[in-house]
């Protein structure tokens, strides 16, 4: 059944607007070529979209050309302003952008763990208002929030989660109250990071992949056939609760200690680094990022890699004489290592070299750790991450796993190659392991992309606003 004239016009308008978003300003001739529409149809839609205030002439194609065919049309970027929030347990970051997603202003504020719910909410909302003012936005059309925790797929609200501040759950309602004209929605932070990686990061060529988030905590996002999978209760990817070998207890319904979280969280990474004598790099955003970055720098320097080079794990070990990337076996059991008891936290890694235990985070240390302990620390960390990655691969066969978050970015190809080697030995399913290029900034980027999608969905389809709980993906 052919579309009605009004439906055909709406489809053509949306097609033209999507092309202007993706390609940037275009002439009517270029729109005709890209859409396959006739010249009169393109002329009509240009007139329609201009009258609706969605596009405007932004220049001419060629200095010597004049006339209607030379006009270059672009989306009216200030038709709407958007805000994106990255909410963490220790603070919040905010960015405000125009309708095409160009960031106009951004800022962040720390929020201490002992801050009361009311004051914390006031700090967060005040920051949004301040950044919007700095961006020149009189009002915000759409606000996208990325936060840790489970999002109820039916209501679009954060569920009450043990260990997360109360102000997280109340932020959406408070923002909606202070910004009554805005469309406010929240999404799990790891899901937003996966969206950013798929649109702008290392997963641009993948319709199916898993993002393993490595930051303060752990998480995973599952994208299958181009679509994010949330699960029946919104809990797909809660990998921190995955029971794993090498821990002293099992996780519970309210606490992920004893699960994969105990092996790969920020605190666990710092503890593992201390066992190998890897001090944190002063001035880093978190200790976990500092120790991983310091280890990677030591390994690359020992391998003779320049600032822009990414030597593989095998290259690094050849240079420093470490043996930790040989085949390893993971067995249950956990205990602190001492010179008399040299087994690593997850048995199977290389034995520590003499003197590797002498350094502790915060103590006086040379600018760079010794290369052999640094390589073996990365080996031990890769052993741990491979446990979680192998479990995901066995169930989903995603073909690609992205090591995301600040720790994934700090580890770079050095850490990714080590995990890749272990997965190749642990499963018959071919799996790429890639390091994020967006790091912790992926959450804010994903929140902004979601806000932009929701705003454009509404503005580009007059009379058909999206669902208030639409995730934008």
Please write the tens of the pLDDT for every residue from 154-208: 788 888 766 788 999 999 999 999 999 999 999 999 999 999 999 999 999 999 9
Which pLDDT band holds residue 83 (cuts at 50, 70, 90)? very high
Q: What is the pLDDT of residues 246-265, one digit of tens each?
A: 888 899 888 888 999 999 99
When pLDDT is averaged across residues 352-379 and rounded to a whole number, the result is 60
Q: How high is the pLDDT of residue 345?
A: 36
One-character DSSP codes across 313-344: HHHHHHHHT--TTS-----S-----BTTB---
Confidence of residue 305 (pLDDT cuts 50, 70, 90): low
pLDDT at res. 62: 65
Cβ neighbors of 271 (< 8 A, separation 6 or more) are none
pLDDT at 162: 65
**Quick check: 99 pLDDT over 90?**
yes
Signed CA dihedral, 53, 54, 59, 62: sign only: negative
Average pLDDT of the residues in 396-412: 97
**Confidence check: pLDDT of 343 > 70:** no
Share of the chain above pLDDT 70, in %: 80
User: pTM of the prediction?
Assistant: 0.81
For the chain, percent of residues with pLDDT exceeding 90: 64
- Which positions ≥6 away from 291 have C-beta within 8 Å? 269, 270, 273, 278, 279, 280, 281, 361, 377
- Angstrom distance (rounded) from CA 219 to CA 270: 18
How far is the C-alpha of 338 from the C-alpha of 323, rounded, in Å? 20
pLDDT-derived band of residue 347, with 50, 70 and 90 as boundaries? very low
Q: Is it the case that residue 211 has pLDDT exceeding 70?
A: yes
Closest CA to 408 of 440, 447, 446: 440
Mean pLDDT (the chain, rounded): 83
Is pLDDT larger for residue 286 or for residue 304? Answer: 286
Q: What pLDDT score was predicted for residue 194?
A: 97
Average of per-residue pLDDT across 85-107: 95
Grade residue 351 by pLDDT with cuts at 50, 70 and 90.
very low
* pLDDT score, position 1: 60
Is the pLDDT confidence value at 329 over 70?
A: no
Instruction: Please give the average per-residue pLDDT across 336-364, as a whole number.
Output: 37
């Amino acid at each position: 059944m052919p579309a009605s004239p009004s439906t055909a016009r709406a489809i053509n308008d949306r097609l033209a607007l999507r092309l202007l978003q993706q390609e940037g300003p275009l002439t009517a001739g270029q729109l005709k070529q890209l859409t396959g529409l006739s010249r009169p149809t393109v002329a009509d839609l240009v007139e329609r979209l201009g009258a609706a205030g969605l596009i405007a002439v932004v220049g001419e194609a060629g200095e010597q050309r004049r006339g209607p065919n030379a006009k270059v049309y672009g989306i009216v970027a200030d038709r709407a302003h958007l805000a994106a929030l990255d909410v963490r347990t220790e603070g919040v970051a905010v960015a405000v952008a125009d309708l095409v997603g160009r960031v106009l202003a951004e800022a962040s504020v720390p929020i201490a763990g002992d801050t009361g719910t009311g004051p914390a909410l006031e700090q967060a909302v005040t920051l949004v208002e301040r950044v919007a003012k700095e961006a020149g936005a009189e009002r915000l059309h759409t606000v996208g929030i990325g936060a840790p925790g489970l999002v109820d797929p039916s209501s679009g609200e954060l569920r009450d989660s043990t260990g997360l501040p109360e102000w997280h759950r109340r932020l959406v309602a408070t923002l909606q109250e202070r910004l009554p004209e805005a469309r406010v929605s929240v999404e799990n932070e790891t899901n937003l990071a996966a969206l950013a990686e798929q649109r702008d990061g290392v997963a641009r060529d993948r319709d199916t992949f898993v993002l393993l988030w490595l930051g303060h905590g752990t998480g995973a996002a599952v994208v299958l056939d181009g679509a994010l999978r949330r699960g029946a209760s919104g809990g797909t990817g809660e990998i921190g609760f995955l029971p794993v070998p090498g821990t002293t207890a099992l996780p519970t319904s309210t606490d992920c200690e004893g699960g994969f979280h105990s092996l790969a969280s920020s605190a666990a990474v710092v503890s593992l680094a201390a066992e190998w004598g890897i001090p944190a790099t002063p001035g880093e955003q978190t200790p976990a990022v500092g120790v991983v970055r310091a280890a990677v720098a030591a390994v690359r320097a020992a391998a003779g890699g320049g600032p822009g080079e990414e030597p593989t794990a095998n290259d690094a070990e050849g240079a420093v004489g470490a043996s930790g990337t040989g085949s390893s076996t993971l067995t249950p059991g956990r205990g602190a290592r001492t010179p008399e008891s040299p087994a690593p936290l997850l048995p199977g890694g290389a034995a520590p070299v003499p003197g590797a235990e002498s350094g502790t985070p915060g103590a006086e240390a040379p600018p760079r750790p010794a290369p052999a302990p640094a390589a073996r620390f990365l080996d031990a960390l890769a052993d741990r991450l491979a446990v979680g990655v192998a479990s995901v691969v066995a169930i989903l066969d995603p073909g690609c796993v992205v090591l995301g978050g600040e720790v994934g970015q700090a580890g770079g190809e050095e850490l990714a190659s080590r995990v890749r080697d272990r997965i190749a030995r642990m499963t018959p399913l071919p799996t790429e392991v890639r390091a994020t290029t967006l790091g912790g900034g992926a959450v804010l980027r994903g929140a902004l992309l979601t806000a932009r999608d929701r705003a454009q969905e509404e503005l580009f389809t007059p009379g058909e606003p999206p669902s208030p709980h639409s995730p934008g993906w």
